[in-house]
Amino acid sequence: MKVILASIFVFSKPVFQTSSNIEVRLSNSSEKLSDKSSIRILLTVLVMIVLQFSVASQEPTDSSSFNPKRFVPAVTAGSVIAGGSLIGLHTTWYSEFEREKFHLFNDGKQWLQMDKVGHSCAAYYVGLFCGRSLEWTGVAKKKAVIAGGSIGLGYLTAIELMDGYSSGWGFSMGDMAANIGGTGLYVAQELAWNEQRIQLKYNFIPSDYASYRPETLGVGFFPQALKDYNGQAYWLVTNPGYWKADSSWPKWLNLAVGYSADGMTGGTVNSFPLLENGDVIPTFERTRQYYLSVDIDLFQIEARRNWFKVLRSFVGFVKIPAPAIGINSNGNLLLEIR
């Protein structure tokens, strides 16, 4: 049974410090925060996998026929999961920080805005799966789309509000704007075209920078895929056939425009000059990167085997690595597999 599990999908904020007088060795408290951030991100990715599987496995329903036998359990389960996750975050994470008056936190310059694009991607999928969950219960299409987007944005806003009262964080207007943008991308397309012609996708190619700041950028493939923004890329993906009715363009082959960043060992500046063994971290130039590539839409390939249905359910939000041409903020040409 599909439930509104997507309401607990949210990208976590990595832990970092940016002042020029930072100590070379991270404090124990910072290391603990980084560990908690990793756990939070891992849980959200696991939820995303469950969501992809559940969405792909559901049989279609007639949205004109409301089904209370689906609606009541779905909404109940979704409410319990969303409420429980918020309580869990408050008791296991925010409780370690003092509660303060509501305050703002300006993190707009950090990680060359890669974290903000991540927030948009999270909000996009939260709204998408909440909306599809409601459609599955028989809620009318337009109502399901608006309610799904509102539920997803409401959940993400609740987390931002908890940040706003925490001494360890603060309410980020940049995060909130990114959340609204991701939700808007989902809702606007459903209302305008009744489909998602432009998708937000993610992929990751390991970078060399994590070896210099493993406590912040992760150790091993999966932690780095969640924490190392140097290796991440976010993509706007579409198929030319959406825009021309008689197009002969293959439905499974999409075009993708991507954004990434490189050279980052700290949030705002690379102000961590020494490794724990005393070696000096090289000086890296922080650059933005823009790509043009292709993507394979696995959902447009006929699934003759159950294993393929499961596979595409697990990786449906991932842009398949492919040759890409790009340019960075210094004007240098990039030819990569991305």
Per-residue confidence (pLDDT) for residue 283, from 0 to 100: 86
Burial class (CB in 10 A: 0-12, 13-18, 19+), 320: middle
Segment 73-101, tens digit of pLDDT: 888 888 888 888 888 877 877 777 888 99
What per-residue confidence (pLDDT) applies to 323? 97
Range 139-143 contact pairs with CB under 8 angstroms and sequence separation of 24 or more: 139/63, 139/66, 139/71, 140/63, 140/64, 141/63, 141/190, 141/194, 142/191
For residue 249, what pLDDT is reported? 95
User: Coil, helix or strand for 150?
Assistant: helix
Q: Which residues of the chain have pLDDT under 50?
A: 1-43, 46, 49-50, 52-53, 55-60
Structure tokens at 194: 């009744």
- DSSP 8-state assignment for residue 25: S
Q: Which residues pair with 323 in a beta bridge?
A: 337
- Cα-based distances in Å from 107 to 110, 112, 126, 309, 322: 6, 10, 23, 40, 32
Gyration radius of the chain over CA positions:
21
DSSP class of residue 45 equals: H
Task: Give pLDDT, residue 229.
Answer: 95
DSSP secondary-structure letter at 315?
H
pLDDT of residue 157: 93
Annotate 214-277 with DSSP letters as a single string.
Answer: HHHH-SSHHHHHHH-TTTEEEEEEE-GGGG-TT--S-TTEEEEEEEEEES-SSSSS----B-TT
